[in-house]
Amino acid sequence: MAGVRIALWDLPTRIVHWSLVVLIPFSWWSAENHDLERHRWSGYAILGLLVFRLIWGFVGSSTSRFASFLRGPRAVLAYARGSGDKRLGHNPMGGWSVVAMLALLVAQVGLGLFASDDDGLETGPLNHLVSYATAETLTELHELLFNVLAALIALHVATVLFYLFVRRDNLIAPMLGGSKQLDAEPAARPTMARPLRALAVAAVAFAIMAWISKGAPLAW
């Protein structure tokens, strides 16, 4: 097959993506089965991944940066009509879908940090910062918001399948292997960030996650 293969998604972005694919259903399962200890640890893992991805969205590889795929309404409408700028990575509509997913996950995890169970035996690390009544409200919102998140995930999966079977564009393979086969050399190849930068961001994300999981004390 003629063409050229390019690096599209870096390893850190792929690790975050597929880790969330595993951890989000696990978090739901552990909550449904009242295994709140594992639910809490799963939430901590998701928190660390989110912190990493948000930082990586500013300092990571070119296709992972928010600036590369967040476009204005005109670009989104142009893409929806089948025209407009054809960039590598997330398209204008997919870019906003990514941001919406991240925002919902941040809200979901954030609410969980203040939540508590019915007996008050299992609580989020920041539960001590709010009153009992507030914690109850936030817990209810934490449960309700998951339904919105699940709906957005279902839409995301449906879109990926639409691209795969209707548009014949496999979005899954590049997110697995990191590279994509193109018919011709692109005007500019994506720039991949160095592994050392990813390790530094991972260290910062882990430190923030650990600090919050301890109740966000003013001193370690």
Q: Give the model's pLDDT for residue 33.
A: 96
pLDDT at 219: 60
Per-residue confidence of the chain (220 residues) as pLDDT tens digits?
Answer: 568 999 999 999 999 999 999 999 999 999 999 999 999 999 999 999 999 999 999 999 999 999 999 999 998 888 888 876 677 999 999 999 999 999 999 999 999 999 998 777 789 999 999 999 999 999 999 999 999 999 999 999 999 999 999 999 999 999 999 999 999 999 889 999 999 999 999 999 999 999 999 998 876 5
Domains of the chain: 9-180 (1.20.950)
Tokens of 151: 């709906």
Q: Using alpha carbons only, how large is the chain's radius of gyration in Å? A: 19
Strands 4-7 and 179-182: antiparallel
Supply the pLDDT for residue 2. Answer: 64
Q: How high is the pLDDT of residue 220?
A: 55
pLDDT of residue 187: 87
Three-class DSSP labels, 65-83? CHHHHCCCHHHHHHHHCCC
Cα dihedral 153→158→164→165 (10° resolution): 170
pLDDT for the residue 149: 97
